[in-house]
Structure 1
Amino acid sequence: MKMRLQLFLVLLAVVCVTCKPLKKKKLLLVSFDGFRWDYDQDVDTPHLDQLAVDGVKAKYITPPMLTMTSPSHFTTITGRWVEDHEVVHNMMFNTTTNLKVPHKQTLRRSEWWDNGVLPLWITAQNQGLKTASFFFPGGGATYRGQAVNRVRLQESNHPDDNVTEWRQNIDTVMSWFSEEDFHLVTLYFGEPDNVGHAKGPDHEDRKKIIRQIDDIIGYLRKAIDSHHLADSLNVIITSDHGMTTVKKRPQVDEIILNKYLNLLQLASFEILDYGGFGIVTPRAGREQEVFDALSNAPNLTVYKKHEIPASFHLGKSERLPPIVVMADLGFNLNSRFIVYVNKGDHGFHNGEMDMKTIFRAFGPSFKKNFLSEPFDSIHIYPLMCKLLQVEPEPHSGSLAVTEELLWSGGEPQRTGLPVALLLSVLLLVV
């Protein structure tokens, strides 16, 4: 009788554990700026390779138009196209006053980001979760007067490649999850974008930084284990855009737009010396003249804003000026003379393979050893909402695109006897 009672108690405990309500999972979103989809193919990356075994991998993902840091990151965290969220450039600008604010200063300017679209941090907070942004674009702004629970912002001229600091940042984020019960943290790294710009995507230094990133992913996984988060933390690793080699003289003639029109006479505002994407505000009554002149320039395509292809998801923007210019892959836009020194760049058409980027994910809600077909980055938002059990804001993504990455219902398959069978055994025992 005593043995039967002991067996009964053991089986009852198993049933109680099996029936225990599932605790909300936590989510870490990691972005490595400028990590092109194939950067791990010419470098030994054991930790990234292991992620493909222990989690899910997409062949590549397509960023939005524009393939620039702030617009792309904000599409990921809002699930909205650029024409909807209106973060249309890395630089805050005003076409009336000719204001142009550098990228890292723009990260602090709420008036650039707060255009009526709520990012996931705020949506999650409004539903009772704790969120944080560590260097992530958009995290330093307030939305409808509400700030992200915890924010770390990069200072101007802050070095992006300090591996000691990378480890410290991961340790900090892990403590937020394990000791302070944060639910969503977004973590941004400025590499390999910087080295891609400075040295080009084919340079040995780019390969060196990819090895450093691979090492930090290994460090991240150890930190997850040491903080006892393996059963509760899902991790998504992605990026904002790719990188391509800039074509330089003497091989090609670089684009200098002032050769084809007098910018001083015909334009009242422009941002043109900024990679492969440019904007122009013609002077009153000169729009057609500007359009015609730029149409004669080689190695670029010029659009009137209201004639931009619908697939770009830019044409409805109220913030973009009337003329949008996009260079052919590898050609930088120069306004009056050549000032651009980068050996690599982005901002080009998102259909170009050099603009595609990475997606990896692992954790208790993700399948293992699963290779996904490519998808657009806009679909990451509903996936994150699913993982956090958050009711999403209106968005343009679709969970149908990414739900195959998850175990059925977003939870891992569990081994052991089904509850009904355990109950039957209990009845027999007693």
Structure 2
Amino acid sequence: MKLRIPFLLLFISIIGFAQSITIDTAQIITPNRFNSQEGKSKPYVIMISTDGFRYDYAEKYNAQNLLKLSNSGIRAKAMIPGYPSITFPNHWSLITGLYPSHHGLVDNFFYDYKIGKGYAMNKKENAEDGSWYGGTPLWTLAEKQGIVSASLQWVGSASDAGGKRPTYYYPYHEKFKPEEKVNKVINWLKLPEDQRPHFIAMYFPEVDGAGHHFGPDSEETKNAVQIIDKAIGNLVKKVNDLGLKNVNFVFVSDHGMIKVDGGNPLEIPAVLFNKDRFDFYNSQTLVRVHVKNSDEVKSVFKELKANKTADNKVYLDKKLPKYLHFATRDDRYSRIGEILLIPKAPKVFLEKNQTTSVGKHGYDPKLVPEMKATFYAWGPEFKNNVVVDEFSNVNVYPLVAKILDLKLENEIDGKLKVLKQTLKK
């Protein structure tokens, strides 16, 4: 089973999640959910993701609000996305504290051979089916411990992953403009105390879309950064006007962006087109190969490695570098594949008659710094004027859980000690 990514999805990593059917923009509310008496006194956390907001974009494009807010709070030199550095895996890592190989979303598109089904981020029946998603998302952790939560289109929040959806959520679509999303968050915070969410996750796709279409150095990407920066500034002002106590903001992104060499692509090795022997899954910055006859894995690997070029590497999955957490030893759901073909940035793998976008992501962030993401945080719980070193995005989860005083219910990859220094207490 070989997956061909639809043309439009090559331009915007998340756009494909919007359905071609009539879009219902209505909010979904889970009835009979209320903050516990203790929950009412907890801090608030608004966790904001701006897709594709590279670690240097705020300075590069003079995002004045974000620079001012982060300089008054916490600012990371960069945040390291999980591998592969793409949208769905990393949003789920941020919200569960697990590496992609541990929570099961190993790609935006993949196949699970144990259950005989494929996952595609642009299929509603997949995206809203919690059985695909491992781990306990923050909104579920909060709801189970008496804290009402809400999500504005964060990956997986329309599913029942972890056993409980947020009390308030919107299925994914792209009808809402940034300012509309800001107003919806404010409306949540205006609810009566027992109904008001103390954990809110929200998502902006605009910067990623511009980066894909026009590249990270384009005027369009600059404009998208400025639009989101304005929205964040307005959000903070409107929240402050509400007079609520202890509202904290965590601003993150899932990955960065680089301009790719689409005019001189790498070819998929011809042998892999034998459907009787192989399935391959090409995200252009990574080709994952499933060898149907396990006895052939080593011989095929040798053949592919013998024919590799200086612009790509071939790995047996079990030999992938440990720091990527994407090898056989990490693959809890057996969804990755046995052989990986990894292009050297800015090269991409293209099939015949296939095109690519101007900007892409998915590369190893250790080798390609343009893949690095953003982390800023500010509010009463955070120290002031602190810059922290680079860290893995799985460490955001225990930080937010600590602020909300949530007890972790399962083992995660993130460690509170990594970011505990950012908190006042």
Shared fold per TM-score greater than 0.5: yes
**Preserved CA contact (<8 Å) 1:276 1:347:** yes
Tell me the alpha carbon deviations over residues 115-155 of structure 1, each in whole angstroms, 9 at most, x when there is no partner. Answer: 3x211211111111111221101211113543232221113
State the AA in 2 paired with 1:88. V
* 2-structure distance, mates of 1:185, 1:262: 44
1:196 counterpart residue number: 211
1:406 counterpart residue number: 423
1:257 counterpart residue number: 268
Query: Which stretches of structure 1, 4 residues or longer, exceed 6 Å deviation after superposition?
Result: none
State the AA in 2 paired with 1:23. S
Tell me the alpha carbon deviations over residues 330-377 of structure 1, each in whole angstroms, 9 at most, x when there is no partner. Answer: 22122x314123011011002121010111111111112222222111
Q: Shift of the alpha carbon at 1:265?
A: 5.1
* 1-structure distance, mates of 2:118, 2:374: 34
* 1-structure distance, mates of 2:162, 2:389: 37
1:238 aligns with 2:252: yes
Distance verdict in 2 for CA 1:346–1:104, change over 3 Å: farther
Give the TM-score taking structure 1 as reference length. 0.81
1:101 counterpart residue number: 120
2:413 counterpart residue number: 396
2:400 corresponds, among 362, 384, 387, to 384
Identity in percent: 26
* 1-structure distance, mates of 2:148, 2:275: 52
Determine which structure has more spread, i.e. the larger CA radius of gyration. Answer: 1
**Preserved CA contact (<8 Å) 2:80 2:390:** yes
1:69 aligns with 2:87: yes
1:213 aligns with 2:228: yes
1:59 corresponds, among 77, 95, 98, to 77
Q: Shift of the alpha carbon at 1:301?
A: 1.9
* 1-structure distance, mates of 2:250, 2:285: 28
**Preserved CA contact (<8 Å) 1:175 1:227:** no
* 2-structure distance, mates of 1:144, 1:225: 32
State the AA in 2 paired with 1:245. K
Residues 267-416 of structure 1 aligned to structure 2 (within 5 Å): 267-272=277-282, 274-284=283-293, 285-295=295-305, 296-298=307-309, 299-315=311-327, 316-317=330-331, 318-334=334-350, 336-351=351-366, 352-393=368-409, 394-407=411-424, 409=425
* 2-structure distance, mates of 1:100, 1:22: 38
**Preserved CA contact (<8 Å) 1:383 1:403:** yes
Q: Shift of the alpha carbon at 1:92?
A: 4.7
**Preserved CA contact (<8 Å) 1:367 1:405:** yes
* 2-structure distance, mates of 1:374, 1:104: 34
1:170 aligns with 2:182: yes
1:112 aligns with 2:132: yes
The DSSP-based 3-state class of the residue aligned with 2:376 is strand
Distance verdict in 2 for CA 1:215–1:123, change over 3 Å: same
* 2-structure distance, mates of 1:215, 1:121: 26
**Preserved CA contact (<8 Å) 1:275 1:346:** no
State the AA in 2 paired with 1:373. D
* 1-structure distance, mates of 2:348, 2:299: 22
Please report the RMSD computed on the Cα atoms of aligned residues, expressed in angstroms: 2.1
1:87 corresponds, among 75, 81, 105, to 105
* 2-structure distance, mates of 1:138, 1:102: 10
* 1-structure distance, mates of 2:277, 2:357: 26
Give the TM-score taking structure 2 as reference length. 0.82
Gaps of 5+ in 1: 1-20, 410-430
**Preserved CA contact (<8 Å) 1:380 1:397:** yes
State the AA in 1 paired with 2:108. N
**Preserved CA contact (<8 Å) 1:266 1:282:** no
1:428 counterpart residue number: none
Q: Shift of the alpha carbon at 1:217?
A: 1.4
Distance verdict in 2 for CA 1:233–1:45, change over 3 Å: same
2:67 counterpart residue number: 49
**Preserved CA contact (<8 Å) 2:140 2:163:** no
2:47 counterpart residue number: 29
2:238 corresponds, among 223, 226, 232, to 223
**Preserved CA contact (<8 Å) 2:109 2:118:** no
* 2-structure distance, mates of 1:102, 1:392: 28
* 2-structure distance, mates of 1:67, 1:174: 31
- Count of aligned pairs between the two proteins: 373
1:5 counterpart residue number: none
